Amino acid sequence: MYIPKHFKVEDKQVIYDFIEKNSFGILVSSHNGVPYATNLPLVLDRDQGYLYGHFARPNTQWLDIEEQEILVIFQGPHHYISSSWYETNESVPTWNYVAVHVYGRVERIDDRTELLHGLKELVSKYEEMSSSYTIDEQNQSYVDKLIQGIVGFRLKINRLEGKWKLSQNHSAERKEMVIEQLNLIGTDHAKEIANLMKERMK
């Protein structure tokens, strides 16, 4: 990913926090000689440096995913920035956003116990707000059918890239103007970008 020095984030913990908050990623590999991408919910193991997830078995991307470097893209809030918000006409519009790229190698998970553990971790993560669903291990036939329909994997993280493009290359005055306009727009993404810009100005 192209990252000018103004926008580069290298703090691993900051990047890990971002991944956990924006954990629905895009996994990109070469499949049958062409780029192929799948949108997937992923679970991060911060201590071991792994991402865990699974493919639907009919998705053939998993067939040739090992033995190559994989890219996973995590996209955060983003918003258009109009040059009309600035104090001068001698400027151009742009886009502010936060994104993380993860590179690594994928290993298939074939062990039933490990695969089931991964599924339970995934469900637990996303059921935090409602806590209404759990995988019922007493229903053996259902669990077996569930596991047979997926291909689990772990991705060993080899490299992280973080890009926080939040008008860092502009004056404080101009940033304040952008923040004001974003708050007036008031959408979720606009407010999130405004808040991130404020944090970076402290």
pTM > 0.75: yes
pLDDT in tens, 80-118: 999 999 888 778 999 999 999 999 999 999 998 898 888
- Distances in whole angstroms, Cα of residue 134 to Cα of each of 62, 181, 190: 26, 43, 35
What pLDDT is attached to residue 129? Answer: 67
Listed in sequence order, the residues at least 6 apart from 200 whose beta carbon sits closer than 8 Å to its beta carbon are 164, 166, 168
The token pair at 32 is 């049958």
Closest C-alpha among 167, 173, 169, 152 to residue 197: 167
What pLDDT is attached to residue 51? Answer: 97
What pLDDT is attached to residue 130? Answer: 67
What pLDDT is attached to residue 136? Answer: 67
- Distances in whole angstroms, Cα of residue 181 to Cα of each of 169, 170, 192, 197: 18, 15, 13, 12
Beta strands in 46-149 (DSSP E): 50-56, 70-81, 94-109
- Which CATH class name applies to 5-169? mainly beta
CB 35 within 8 Å of CB 73:
no
Return left, alpha or beta for 42; rule: phi > 0 is left, psi -120 to 50 is alpha, else beta: beta
Residues of the chain falling short of pLDDT 70: 129-131, 136-138
- DSSP state letter for 167: S
What pLDDT is attached to residue 131? Answer: 66
